[in-house]
Amino acid sequence: MIDVLEDLIKGAVSEVFSTMLSIKTEPDSTLALLTTGGSHVATSVGFIGQITGIVFIYSNDDYARVITSRMLGLDPTEVDGEEMVNDSMGELGNMVVGHIKSRLCDRGMSCVLTIPSIVRGSQFSIQPVTSATRIVVGFRCDNTQQIAIEVLIKPEDKAQP
């Protein structure tokens, strides 16, 4: 399951970033989570059902602004305030997790998505409960930037019927 999930994350990020942003992404296992040093944006979208978990998409604040401008076809200087960035990053998370969720459902693990939410900060970390499985995949974007995806998932034997 974990192996499948990692592939699903890579496929989803590649598809969403190339289609919506024309950004080429390359998985890079050497990248660490972007939660310390500088301002960061973390988008979270949960999935609940026969498989339950939560997906975080981490980006630094400046790159979140670039992503927003690419998504809306604007110049980065035209991105107006945090609300616009939050909304775009939320929608990006919705698309990435929606893509993963669809593939999980096709494998018989039906679930529903939660509404995206945004966390901002410069020093924060996610502490999963001990029973959760954690997967982190880093991505290089257009060779110069990076994002990270973190998935926390309940073990399958504890998933809801």
Contact residues for another protein (CB under 8 A)?
Answer: 15-16, 19-20, 68, 71-73, 84, 87-88, 90-91, 94-95, 97-99, 101-106, 110, 112-113, 115
How many CB atoms neighbour CB 73 within 10 A? Answer: 7
Q: Which is nearer to another protein, 61 or 87 (CB)?
A: 87
* Least spacing, CB of residue 11 vs another protein, in Å: 12
Q: Which tokens in the block code for residue 108?
A: 């018989």
Please state, in angstroms and as integers, the Cα–Cα distance from residue 131 to each residue in 45, 72, 111, 125, 128, following that order. Answer: 19, 39, 20, 17, 8
Q: Which is nearer to another protein, 68 or 146 (CB)?
A: 68
Q: Which is nearer to another protein, 105 or 132 (CB)?
A: 105
Partners of residue 102 on adjacent β-strands:
none
